[in-house]
Amino acid sequence: MVDASVAARIGALREALEAHNHAYYVLDAPTVSDAEYDSLFKELQALELEYPEHASPDSPTQRVGGRAAEGFGQIVHALPMLSLQNAFTDEEVVGFDRRVREALDASATEQDALRYCCELKFDGLAVNLRYEAGRFVRGATRGDGSTGEDVTANLRTIRAIPLHLRGAENPAARASAHASSHGQPASVPSVLEVRGEVLMFRDDFERLNREQQARGEKLFVNPRNAAAGALRQLDPGLTAQRRLRFMAYGLGEVRFEKGGRVPDSHLEMLQWLSDLGFPVGTMRERQEGPAGLLDFYRRVGAQRESLPFDIDGVVYKVDQRAWHERIGYVARAPRFAIAHKFPAEEVSTELLDIDVQVGRTGTLTPVARLRPVFVGGVTVTNATLHNQDELERKDLHIGDTVIVRRAGDVIPEVVRALPERRPAAARRFVMPLACPKCGSAVVREPGEAAARCVGGLFCQAQRSQALIHFAQRRAMDIEGLGDKLVEQLVLSDQVRSPADLYSLRLDQLTALERMGEKSARNLLTAIERSRQCRLERFIFALGIRHVGEEVARVLARHFGSLQALLQTEWSALAIAKSEIQKRNTRARARGEPLLAVPLEGVGLEIMQSLQAFLAEAHNREVIDRLLVCGVQPVSSSGAGAPQVSQTGSGIEPTGGGQVLAGKTLVVTGTLSGMGRNEVEDWIRQHGGTASGSVSRRTDFVVAGDNAGSKLERARALGVPVIDLATLLSMGHSS
**How many Cα atoms are found within 13 Å in the side-chain-facing hemisphere of 710?**
25
701 forms beta bridges with 666, 721
Neighbours of 376 (CB within 10 A): 19
User: At 273, which helix (H) or strand (E)?
Assistant: helix 266-275
What one-character DSSP code corresponds to residue 24? I
Nearby residues of 707 by Cβ (< 8 Å), 6 or more positions away: 668, 669
367 forms beta bridges with 355, 384
Single out the residue of 127, 25, 125, 10 nearest to residue 58, CA to CA. Answer: 10
Is the distance from CB of 280 to CB of 247 less than 8 angstroms? yes
349 forms beta bridges with 402
Is the distance from CB of 699 to CB of 686 less than 8 angstroms? no
Residue 26's alpha-carbon distances to 183, 227, 516, 543, in angstroms, are 16, 18, 54, 52
Of the candidates 42, 121, 317, 437, the residue annotated as catalytic is 121
Rounded distance, CA 239 to CA 18, Å? Answer: 19
582 classed as catalytic: no
Kindly report the backbone phi and psi dihedral angles of residue 218, in degrees, each rounded to the nearest multiple of 5, phi listed first: -65, 135
3-state helix, strand, coil in the chain (%, to 5): 40, 20, 35
Rounded distance, CA 623 to CA 628, Å? Answer: 9
Degrees, nearest 5: CA angle 247-249-253: 115
Residue 457's alpha-carbon distances to 496, 624, 629, 631, in angstroms, are 7, 14, 18, 18
Reduce the DSSP state of residue 679 to 3 states and report it: helix
The set of catalytic residues is 121
